[in-house]
């Protein structure tokens, strides 16, 4: 387990599509299901998906080639996990907020990255780095 576990609550529109996205496509364990929420083991962190018709995601800043959802969360994984997730998302025809790309080329932070919307409109970013700890380097 990590030194600390992040707990994040996100709004969802329905339970079934959330189980499909996180449980089936991203292969995260659904640890608890209630009528109005799910607890998800999101790569060792506690993600709570709660029903809320009112909440929505927003595209609000420009990074690189286009608009980017300022409010997002994600995971940093090894390249082989990144590629497996990318393949499963493409097979499921999940919409991308940012198409797969390579950024910070030639630096210790060089990474593959994409951003998708879950079925409730939450933006989820996935970064693939050979050494995930390099995300903290300033070079």
Distance of CA 134 to the CA centre of its chain: 19
* DSSP conformational letter for 22: I
- Does pLDDT of 93 surpass 70? yes
Residues above pLDDT 90, as percent of the chain: 60
**Averaged pLDDT for residues 90-108:** 91
Give yes or no for a contact between 91 and 117, defined as CB atoms under 8 angstroms apart: no
- Does pLDDT of 2 surpass 60? no
Q: What is the chain's alpha carbon radius of gyration, rounded to the nearest angstrom?
A: 15
- What's the whole-model pTM score? 0.83
- Domain-wise residue ranges, the chain: 7-52+67-136
CATH architecture under which domain 7-52+67-136 falls = Roll (3.10)
Q: Mean of the per-residue pLDDT values for the chain? A: 88
* DSSP conformational letter for 46: E
């Amino acid at each position: 387990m990590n030194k600390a576990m992040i707990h994040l609550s996100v709004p969802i529109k329905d339970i079934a599509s959330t189980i499909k996205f996180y449980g089936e496509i991203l292969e995260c364990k659904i640890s608890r299901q209630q009528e109005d929420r799910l607890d998800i083991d999101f790569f060792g962190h506690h993600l709570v998906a709660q029903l809320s018709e009112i909440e929505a995601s927003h595209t609000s800043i420009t990074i690189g080639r286009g608009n980017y959802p300022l409010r997002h969360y994600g995971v940093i994984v090894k390249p082989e996990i990144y590629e497996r997730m990318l393949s499963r998302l493409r097979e499921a025809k999940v919409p991308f907020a940012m198409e797969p790309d390579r950024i910070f080329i030639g630096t210790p932070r060089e990474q593959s990255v994409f951003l998708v919307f879950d079925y409730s409109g939450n933006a989820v970013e996935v970064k693939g780095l050979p050494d995930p700890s390099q995300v903290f380097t300033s070079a």
